[in-house]
Amino acid sequence: MYLNNEEEQILKGEKGTVLQKAMELLNSLGTIFGAEKLIEIKSAQISGVSYKNIGDGGIDFLQNFKDEKVKVKTTLNPIGFDIEYPKYLNLPSEFIAKQIKILNLYKSMGILATYTCTPYYFENIPSFGDNIAWAESSAVIYVNSLLGARTNRESGVSALAAALIGKTPFYGMHIAKNRKATINVSLKITPSLPDFAVIGLLIGEKIKNGIPYISGIRDYTESALKSLGAAMNATGAIPMFHAEMITPEWKISDEGLEKITIEENDIKEYRERFNTHKDPELVALGCPHLSYSELKDIYLFLKNKKKKENVELWLFTSRSTKQKAYNYVNQIEAFGGKVYADTCMVVAPINLKFKVTATNSGKAVYYLRLPNYSDQDTVFYDLYTLLEMVCA
């Protein structure tokens, strides 16, 4: 990969060992993927922030970078608890202390304490055509597909290296011709909104990687498309999708691609795989983090209803969204639900408190049931069925 004079100096360690390490990483990545050069980025999003995910090894790794500042706006994924309620899961004090240590390391690098996987709503909003270096697969697929920004599926480590240098290798999704669809996915039904999470899981499992061109979507919402993309990246590794007549770059795709179909029965059967039909102890919503309008819809449904005693309702969103939607949040909490910021049902160790968790999220249901991770018996329904389940 071609490096200019300044980049060569950094690689040789002439600007310090921290930047040298970051440049070594970008140089290796660019060489492996055949990048011709580095390009400037406008922002970065870092994943691997919860102590549950990165552990002590992650802390040791981050110590290496603490003396350098990021060069571009850089935001952080959710952490292991809500900063305002660190004790809500009866977390061991060691977990809390180590999580705080991780956050302080990121802060020392000038990284913003956003703790959300949906920074594209308020904190870090890319524009069409922006080159960025984002980790967090649900956010990567969202910004590539729905906003037309350009990022590869970075790891937390490569996104951090890119943030410290302010550049990323020019390959993959940064190059227009690589953003074309690689496979045609034809929906043989007109999906309803709750089907999107299941369709995402199905597409991810069927194609594993590549870029699907999805035809057959008629009615949709931003929330349904967000859920579709997040679920695809639970079962697959998909940087972007095109939805015919919907997403901004759908027209760039070629004709004559290999085609797979998804039928009504596939959706029914696949949903059942994740549904134990047990009575949930917890209904968890907000993977990816809830938007302002999703919180509003939940509030409208719960308005004038009474909560059941024996099931908890926890919602997850970003702190910015929670603040902007404080009216709805107050009403949901008056009903008996909890609206947490900074964290989510997957990166918080909810297994300390619950064994049976219900959700409408394809991504969450996939991770929640993994043994050695959250180890939950999962219940998988659409939003309004779940909200009915928490009402008396």
Q: Which residues bind ligand F3S (CB under 6 A)?
A: 77-78, 117, 138, 230, 287-289, 316, 344, 346-347, 363-364
Question: Rounded to whole angstroms, how far apart are CA atoms 339 and 299?
Answer: 11
- What is the nearest approach in angstroms of ligand F3S to the Cβ of residue 19? 29
343 alpha carbon, distance to own chain's centre: 12
Helix (H, G, I), strand (E, B) or coil at 351: helix
- What is the nearest approach in angstroms of ligand F3S to the Cβ of residue 43? 18
- What is the nearest approach in angstroms of ligand F3S to the Cβ of residue 345? 7
In the complex with ligand F3S, the residue whose CB is nearer, 23 or 368, is 368
- What is the nearest approach in angstroms of ligand F3S to the Cβ of residue 138? 4
- What is the nearest approach in angstroms of ligand F3S to the Cβ of residue 189? 26
In the complex with ligand F3S, the residue whose CB is nearer, 26 or 46, is 46
Question: Rounded to whole angstroms, how far apart are CA atoms 368 and 233?
Answer: 15
In the complex with ligand F3S, the residue whose CB is nearer, 181 or 341, is 341
In the complex with ligand F3S, the residue whose CB is nearer, 162 or 287, is 287
CA dihedral 268, 274, 279, 283 (to 10 degrees): -100
In the complex with ligand F3S, the residue whose CB is nearer, 117 or 232, is 117
The type of residue at 126 is P
In the complex with ligand F3S, the residue whose CB is nearer, 53 or 331, is 53
Name 267's Cβ contacts closer than 8 Å, sequence gap at least 6: 189, 191, 195, 198, 199, 202
In the complex with ligand F3S, the residue whose CB is nearer, 244 or 294, is 294
Question: Rounded to whole angstroms, how far apart are CA atoms 212 and 229?
Answer: 11
- What is the nearest approach in angstroms of ligand F3S to the Cβ of residue 347? 5
- What is the nearest approach in angstroms of ligand F3S to the Cβ of residue 22? 24
User: What is the CB neighbour count within 10 angstroms for residue 276?
Assistant: 15
In the complex with ligand F3S, the residue whose CB is nearer, 316 or 335, is 316
Question: Rounded to whole angstroms, how far apart are CA atoms 347 and 18?
Answer: 28
In the complex with ligand F3S, the residue whose CB is nearer, 43 or 114, is 114
Q: How far is CA 211 from CA 85, 179, 352, in A?
A: 40, 8, 38
Residue 50 tokens read as: 């919860």
Segment (H or E) for 10: helix 5-12
Question: Rounded to whole angstroms, how far apart are CA atoms 115 and 219?
Answer: 31
Residue 12 tokens read as: 């040789």
C-alpha dihedral sign at 184, 187, 193, 199: negative
In the complex with ligand F3S, the residue whose CB is nearer, 364 or 387, is 364
* Peptide bond just before 288 cis, omega within 30 deg: yes
* Alpha carbons within 13 A on the beta-carbon side of 207: 30
* Beta-strand relationship, 212-215 and 242-243: parallel
